[in-house]
Structure 1
Amino acid sequence: MARDADGYPVTRTAAGVLRGAAGTRELAVLDERISGCRACPRLVAWREEVARVRRASFRDQEYWGRPVPGLGPADARIAVVGLAPAAHGGNRTGRVFTGDRSGDWIFAALWRAGLANQPTSVSKDDGLELTDVRVCAAVRCAPPANAPTPEERDTCSPWLARELALLPRLRVVVVLGGFGWTALWPVLGAAGYALPRPRPAFGHGVEVALTGPRGPVTLLGSYHVSQQNTFTGRLTEPMLDAVLTRATELASSAGTTPP
């Protein structure tokens, strides 16, 4: 696999994403391959333009300007799946949900749930550590207007599928928002999970129990931690805390299954 100037392996097509994801056996290698992906021309152009122009308040910072990999340990029993990085958040810092108001919400909630060692995430070197949770996104590049296309979602989906497959103790997936909910179902179907029909509708607090190749996994729906939801009160801290409390309860009661 060819590498770019910074040493990341380059993937340029949807077929390449599929091959690269399927051939990965370690999360660290997957993170590298995600970071070098260039399979969606519109997203590549947008993320790199944002990184070049920069917001005035971050003018003195070097933007990441790449796809953003997940964050958290391989032994996590809980995964949190968001939509995509923010143009001046993850696309700037290189870490998922880091450096924007959505990140302020999710990491503070993870800290309150005992899943993070601190309530803030501002940069890669701020000392944040997650316990028993992996945070990732359905689409890894910052999209224009926070709106990936269905084609971009589907092109990116093998990265998410492989990331979840590389979490052998996974028992709970917290899905932030309707976009992530829609993106996750084909991923789970391809991974061998028996999916209910009709597909359960997304909603805050919706809970769906699935059986898959490594045992039971529960999906939990939550409104996204976007400013549109948090500023208007559609999503409150107690609402988010309740979902994460439920996630930790389910993860603990499910026990562990050897990989």
Structure 2
Amino acid sequence: MDTSGLIELDRRIAGCRACPRLVAWREEVAATKRAAFADWTYWGRPVPGFGPADARLLIVGLAPAAHGGNRTGRMFTGDRSGDVLYRALYDVGLASQPTAVSADDGLELLGVRVTSPVHCAPPANKPTPEERNTCRPWLVRELRLLRPTVRAVVVLGAFGWQAALPAFTEAGWTVPRPRPAFAHGARVTLDADDGGDALDLFGCFHVSQRNTFTGRLTPEMLRDVLATAARTAGLPGVKRPLCSE
């Protein structure tokens, strides 16, 4: 477990200014703010991953939300997507509380780390392919640091899936050819190049409002993927009764 390595990685990510469009956007949002958060001092920087250095399960999203992670400085914190994700993690026993409102709210993840292939909030929630590729080395480094313990990954959405596959290859796992297509409930085993532990990759619809408000992704569907991935990773899985719909 390389705790110091992840701490240093997070520090370096938070100082990145590699993509001019993203730097300009995240800082503009932090300066103008949203009326509901006028009294907040926005983070306004790249948002590093969140969770323990010995995580057995990794969750990969898309990018921080302009008034969520870009405001609070923590992945999926302070926005509706995070409300859905952390509630589900709590329901299956992988988070200490069901809500995430600020970086100092006491939330702890249990055996799980959350990250994204793009660490800056992008305009319209749409990073460019060039921005995705520029940010990829951070994900590769994070995967290498987590490699001693991580055994399963849940990728939220097609963009994250497409962005993560090359990172898995660079980090030392073999991605099948042709590359597996994204689908909710997809499951692919990636063998380690050095004969070490394999990685089980799970696809899940993103926890965006578009998906959750329309019912494309329900809380039950999300809990099912998380619980299956947790069991595969060797985590306790569901510890408490699932909340009713």
Matches within 5 A, 1:97-246: 97-167=76-146, 168-212=148-192, 213=194, 214-246=196-228
CA–CA distance in structure 2, aligned partners of residues 219 and 140 of structure 1: 21
Normalising to structure 2: TM-score of the pair? 0.92
Residue 28 of structure 1 aligns with an amino acid whose one-letter code is I
How many Å separate the matches in 2 of 1:54 and 1:195? Answer: 41
How far 1:175 sits from its partner (Å)? 0.1
Cα pair distance change 1:188/1:25, threshold 3 Å? farther
Deviation string for 1:79-123 (max 9, x for gaps)?
A: 000000000000000000000000001101111111100000000
> What secondary structure sits across from 2:107 in the alignment?
coil
Amino acid at match of 2:178: P
Amino acid of the residue matched to residue 159 of structure 2?
F
**1:25 Cα offset (Å):** 6.3
Partner Cα separation in structure 2 for residue 121 and residue 59 of structure 1: 19
Q: Deviations over 1:216-248 (max 9, x none)?
A: 100000000000000000000010000011011
Give the 3-state SS of the residue equivalent to 1:215 in structure 2.
coil
Change (3 A) 1:153 1:175: same
Give ranges in structure 1 of 5+ residues lacking alignment: 1-23, 254-259
Residue 14 of structure 2 corresponds to: 35
State the match for 1:5 in structure 2: none
Q: Which runs of 5+ in 2 are unaligned?
A: 236-245
CA RMSD of aligned residues (A): 1.2
Name the structure 2 match of 1:53. Answer: 32
Q: Which has the higher contact order (CA 8 A, sep 6+)?
A: 2
Alpha-carbon displacement from aligned partner over 1:136-172 (angstroms, at most 9, x marks no partner): 0110000000000000000000111111111120000
- Quote how far apart the aligned CAs of 1:192 are: 2.2
Letter in 2 for 1:126: D
Q: Hey, what's the Cα distance between the residues in 2 that align with 1:85 and 1:192?
A: 26
